[in-house]
Each structure stands twice: as C-alpha cells, then as structure tokens.
Amino acid sequence: MRALPIALALAVLATGCIGAESSEPPIVGIRNMYNQPRYDVQERQPFFADQRSMRPQVEGTVSREMTKGYAHATGLAAQSKTYVDEIPVVIIGNFGSRQAMMARGKDRYNIYCAPCHSLSGDGQGMVSRRAASLGAAGLVASSLHDDRLRHIPDGQLFATISNGLRNMPSYAHNLPVDDRWAIVQYVRALQLSQAPAVAPENTEQSQ
C-alpha cells in the first residue's frame, strides 16, 4: 500500500518541474520589463516625430567612443569646413598599415555596399537589379566609376557613407568611423582598377 502514496508524490513533484506546461500565468512584478518592445536598425517606429528608430546624437554631447579629430569624424577640415581631399593619415595609423586598412575596407564593402553597388562598384548589385526589374529606376544605385564620383574628395565620400544621400541610408549606426574610412580607401582602389586608360602624351618635338 505504500507504493501508491509514493507514486502520487512523485507525480506531484514531476508536474512542478521547470519546463512543465502550466495554465497559470507567470507572476511578473514589473510587466514593462518583462515584455519590452524593440526596433531593428533602420526600422520605422511611431514614438519619435521623425519615426526613426536610430536616434541622432544629442546636440552638445560627446560620446565616450567619439573620435577627437574633427576631420576624422566628419570628413571636413576643422577650419574651412570643406571636405578633406585625402584620408587623414592618423586613420591609416589606426589600422597599422594601408594593407590592413584595405583588407578591412574590402570586407565591410562586400557586406554593406555590394548589395546595391555590386562587388565591382558598377551599381548593378542584387538590390539595384531587383529595383530595375520592378521599374523603380530611382532606387538603382549609382556606379562608383562615374567620373563625378571618381573626383569627389575622400571626405565627401566618407560623409555620404556616414549621413546617407537620397535613397541611400546612413551607415553611421552600422559602421564605426574607421570602418567607414576603410571603405573609402577600398572604393578608391576599385575606381583605380577600372579607371579609363590615359593615352600617353606626345613627347616628340615639333620639327
């Protein structure tokens, strides 16, 4: 007769094990911490007036991760507020070498830029091809080999990656500052690899 009470006790204990199904609601002291809404990067949300889930930096504040160099952070010269022509030397030093910076730029470009601009930079990435097939020509990415883009300052290219332009979103929340500069360097390498050949100058003396 003792076997029956023991079996019943074991059954009661088994039903109380963690992971067992229960019709009882969970006891949650602070409900808003139990079920917190979240938004993905670049997702629309209704809380703020501009409906952006990625919030801009609070004016007048300096984050712990912010770089100290103005040109480094913005692509603009501190005094003239014009775009810097070349990548600041200090940034190359952060990578240890141009080769390391180039490798990093290629890696980040292939992840974040190639879907629209393509691996070769001709603007015919998967997203652009899909947009063209749907008749949305305005969503087709620009070719990075366009003569205008080959001659803009490095700082302007960096600022475009950071702030976005027309249909291109900002990547400031996805990519650290140095990674954005690394992409600039890799884009320049792509442009040089496919630059139109320049005819050699005629050095013959006129007779």
Contact call for residues 162 and 180 (beta carbons, < 8 A): yes
User: Is the pLDDT at 156 greater than 90, yes or no?
Assistant: yes
Instruction: Report the chain's mean pLDDT, rounded to a whole number.
Output: 81
Distances (CA, A) of 19 to 8, 36, 84, 133, 142: 20, 23, 60, 50, 54
Task: Please state the rounded mean pLDDT for residues 183-195.
Answer: 91
Which residues, in sequence order, are CB contacts of 18 under 8 Å at separation 6+? none
- Please state the rounded mean pLDDT for residues 92-104: 92
Q: Cα(first)–Cα(last) distance of the chain, in Å? A: 126
Contacts of 45 (CB under 8 A, 6+ apart): 39, 51, 52, 53
* pTM, two decimal places: 0.66
Coil, helix or strand for 33?
Answer: helix
Q: Which residue, 161, 106, 117, is CA-closest to 141?
A: 117
Please report the pLDDT score of residue 207 as a whole number.
46
In the three-class reduction of DSSP (H, G, I as helix; E, B as strand; rest coil), residue 57 is classed as: coil
At residue 29, the 3 state secondary structure works out as coil
pLDDT category at 43 given cuts 50, 70, 90 is: confident
pLDDT for res 65: 60
Name the fold adopted by 80-193: Cytochrome Bc1 Complex; Chain D, domain 2 (1.10.760)
Residues belonging to the chain:
207
- Model confidence over 170-186: pLDDT tens digits? 888 888 999 999 999 99
pLDDT of 55 reads 79
Segments making up each domain of the chain, as ranges: 80-193
Q: If pLDDT is split at 50, 70 and 90, which confidence band does 73 have?
A: confident
